A and B are shown apart, each in its own frame.
Chain A
Amino acid sequence: MAEIALKNIVKRFDSLVAVNNLNLRIKDKEFVVLLGPSGCGKTTTLRCISGLETPDEGKILINEEDVTNKRASQRDVAFVFQLYALYPHLTVYDNIAFPLLAQGLSKKRIRQEVDRAAQVLRIKHILNKKPRELSGGDMQRVALGRAIVRRPEVFLLDEPIGTLDAVFREEMRAELKKLHVDIGATTVYVTHDQVEAMSMGDRVVIMNLGVLQQVGTPHEVYNKPKNLFVANFIGSPGMNFINCKPSRGPRSKLVLGLSVVNATIAIPDEIQRTIIDKKKEEKDLVLGIRPENVMFSQKTKSNSLPARVCVVETMGSYNIIDVKLGDETIKVRTAPSIVPDIGETVSISFDPEGINIFDEETGDSVA
C-alpha cells in the first residue's frame, strides 16, 4: 500500500526553478510515467519523491504521512538510476544484498531474498561476477534486482532503459511492465521517450520547464492534449498546427478560416458550441490535427484543400508524407501503398473527429 501525494512542490537550483508548484497524486499500485524533454524537472521530481532532494516548498506525502524532511534511507522507496550505479567493488550478489544488509537481516534470509530476486530477473548465473563484467542489459537487471529485493512500497525508475540498444529496450519494456504487475509496488517512471511512456504508463504526467502540463491516461494525452506543448510532444510525428480564425459561414454556422490557403473548413457542431461557450469566437485559434487524421487523396475532391507533396518518408507499416498547405508544412500519415511523386498536387481534408482547437495566445486547448 503506497499512495504518493505531491503538494505544491517547488525546487530551485540557485536561480533555476527546476520544479514549479507541482501537484500530483499517485494512486496505490499505479504505474505513473513522468514524461518531458530534458531539463523539464521530471528527474528532480523523482529525486524529491525518493528523498535525494528536499523540495524548497511544498509537501510530499507517502500514505498520508509527511515525509518531506525524511532522509532517503527512512522512506520505503527503491530507486533505479539511469546509469545503474552498481557498486563497482562488490559482486552482483553483494550488490543485490546491499539494501538487505542495511536492514540487518540474517545471512540465510538475505540469501533467500537475493535468490528470489535473481530468479525473477533471470540473473542467477551472474551472481558472482563484478559489475564491470556485465552487459548493459544485465547491469540493468541487477539494478532492478537491488531495487525489488527488499519489496519496496514505492519503486522509482529514472530512465532505466535509456542507454540500452533499441531491440533490447523493447524487450525490457515488456519485462518492466510485467515486473510491475508481479510486485505490485507503486511505480514512478521517468523517461523522455514517449513510446515508453505511452506503452507502460497507467497514467502519463507530462512536464515542461518545471511545470506540469497534463496528467492523463495515454489515450487522454494523445487524443485530448491540454495544450499545444503536449499536442506537439506526444505522437511521432507530433500534431500538425494551422493558424485559423472562426467566422460565420452559410446558415450562420461557425467555420474556421485558414489564413495560409485562404479557405474555410467546416467543424462539428459540438466544437462550434464549445468555441461559442468559451467566448473564443473573436480570438485567433490554432487548429490541431494528428497526421493520421489528415485524409489524403491523389484525386481532386470537393471539400478538400489542395496541397503539394514535398517529402515522402517510408516507415514500413505506414508512410509519412510532408505536404505544403500554403506556407505551412503538414505531416500526413498514409497507408504504405500510397507513394505520391514529389511536387505532385494532392488534396487533403481533416477528419472531424480528430480536430483539436487551441487558443493561439495561451496555447491551451479550447475544444
Chain B
Amino acid sequence: MAIIANRKRRIGRWVLIIVLIVITFIYLIPFMYIINTAFKPWTGIKVYPPTVIFKPSIGSFIRIFTSRTVYPPGEVPTEEEISGMKWYERIVYKETNEEVVRLGDFPRRYLNSIIICSISTLITVILGTIAAYGFSRFNVRGKDDLLFFILSTRMLPPVVVVIPVFLMFRFLGLTDTHIGLILLYIAFNVSFAVWVLKGFIDEIPTEYEEAAMVDGYTRFQVFRKIVVPQATTGIAATAVFCFIFSWNEYAFAFLLSRKIAQTVPAWLPYQMGVLGYDWGAAAAGTFIFLLPAMVFTIILRKHLVRGITFGAIRK
C-alpha cells in the first residue's frame, strides 16, 4: 500500500511539474515573441511563418531611439559616404535605406515614465504608510466604513471613471502635465497601499512602540524610528506593486497626455513609419520598457511573495 501511495505521490509531483512548465511557457510566449521580434532584422519581421533562428540585429533598437527619413530615389549615398557614416547610421541605411535625422522621442517618453512613476510611487508609499499606521493603531471613528470606502475606489475599471477624470483635468488644466498623471496614479494606488501596509503594520507588536514612547519619544518619532524600519518589507513590496501599476498604466496615460507628459505605454504603439508599421521598433521599445519592472520584480521577489500572502492569515 505504502509503495502504491508513494508512487502515486511521485506521479502527482511529475504531473504538477509538467503542468507548471506548460503554464509558464504559455505565459512566456508573448514575452519571448517580443524578444524574438526585437532582435530580428527588418526583412525578417514580416516573414511568414515566423522564424525562430536568424541572424540577430540591433536595427530595431536603433530605430526606436531615432527619427529617420528615407533617401529620395536617386540620392543614394556613395561608398565614401557610407564608410563615413556612424555605425548605427550604417545599420539603419543597410536595413531600411533610411537616413537618421535626430534622436527620437523614446528617451523623453522613457524619462516621463520614470519621473511620473517614481514620484507617484514615493508619495503613495509615504501617504499609504501613514494612513495604514493610523488605521492600524488608532480608534478611528467609522474605521471599517472608511477602509471600505478607500477600497471601493479600486472597484471600477479605469474606463468607467475616465470621462469625469478627463473633464476634471481639463477644468484644472492638468491635461498633459506630469503633475496630473502623478496625482492620478497616487489616487489610484493609495487605496491599495493602505490595505497592504495595514496588514503589515498590524503584525508589528505594539510593545515596540510603547517601549519607545516610555523611552522618551513622541508618537511621530516612534513611527519613524520603530515602525518604518520594521515595515520595510511591506513598504518595499507595496512600492513595487505601485510602481508596476503606474509603469504599465495605459488608459489614463493615453487619454490624458499628448506630448509633454506622455508615458511610454501611450506612445509606444505609434511606430508608423514611411515604410509601414515598424513592428521591430515597437518590440524593441517594449523590451526596453519591460526591463525596469523585470529587474525590480526579480530583486524583490522574496518581498513580493510575502507581500501578496501577508495579512491573509489572521492570528
Contacts and interface: CB of A to CB of B under 8 A. Distances in A.
A85 B216 contact: no
Interface stretch (B21-29, B104-112, B204-212, B276-284): B204-212
Given A52-B210, A72-B210, A87 B226 contact: yes
B160 interface: no
Contacts of B167: none
A78 B214 contact: yes
A77 to B, nearest CB: 6
Nearest to A80: B211
A85 B205 contact: yes
Contacts of A102: 215-217, 221
Given A83-B205, A85-B207, A77 B214 contact: yes
A85 B226 CA distance: 11
A146 interface: yes
Interface string A78-92: 110101010111000
B36 to A, nearest CB: 46
Interface in B217-274: 217-218, 221, 226, 229-230
A98 B205 contact: no
B138 to A, nearest CB: 14
B207 A81 contact: yes
A79 B221 CA distance: 18
A81 B216 CA distance: 16
Contacts of B213: 51-52, 71-73
Contact of B215 (A83, A88, A89, A146): A146
A88 B230 contact: yes
B210 to A, nearest CB: 5
Contacts of B214: 50-52, 72-73, 77-79
A81 B215 contact: no
Given A73-B217, A102-B217, A87 B212 contact: yes
A99 interface: yes
A103 B205 contact: no
Contacts of A83: 205, 207
Contacts of A99: 215-216
A98 B215 CA distance: 7
Contact of B208 (A78, A79, A85, A103): A85
Contacts of A89: 229-230
B216 A103 contact: yes
A150 B218 CA distance: 17
B210 A85 contact: yes
Interface residues of A, number: 21
A72 B212 CA distance: 9
Contacts of A52: 210, 213-214
Nearest to A50: B214
Nearest to A158: B207
Interface string A47-81: 00011100000000000000000011100011101
Contacts of B215: 73, 78, 98-99, 102, 146, 150
Contacts of A73: 213-218
Contacts of B207: 81, 83, 85
Contacts of A79: 210-211, 214
Nearest to B217: A102
Interface in A234-260: none
B229 A85 contact: no
A263 to B, nearest CB: 56
Contacts of A81: 207, 210-211
A50 B212 CA distance: 12
A87 B215 CA distance: 12
A89 B228 CA distance: 11
Interface in A176-231: none
A290 to B, nearest CB: 38
B221 to A, nearest CB: 8
A136 to B, nearest CB: 16
A225 B165 CA distance: 74
Nearest to B230: A89
B212 A98 contact: yes
A98 B209 CA distance: 12
Contacts of B230: 88-89
A183 B86 CA distance: 80
Interface string B85-107: 00000000000000000000000
A146 B214 CA distance: 11
Closest 7 CB pairs of A and B: A102-B216, A99-B215, A85-B207, A85-B211, A79-B214, A72-B213, A89-B229
20 contacts: A52-B210, A52-B213, A52-B214, A72-B210, A73-B213, A73-B216, A81-B207, A81-B211, A83-B207, A85-B205, A88-B208, A88-B230, A89-B229, A98-B212, A98-B215, A99-B215, A99-B216, A102-B215, A102-B221, A150-B216
Given A73-B213, A87-B211, 13 more contacts: A50-B214, A52-B214, A71-B218, A73-B214, A73-B216, A83-B207, A85-B207, A85-B211, A87-B226, A99-B215, A99-B216, A102-B216, A146-B211
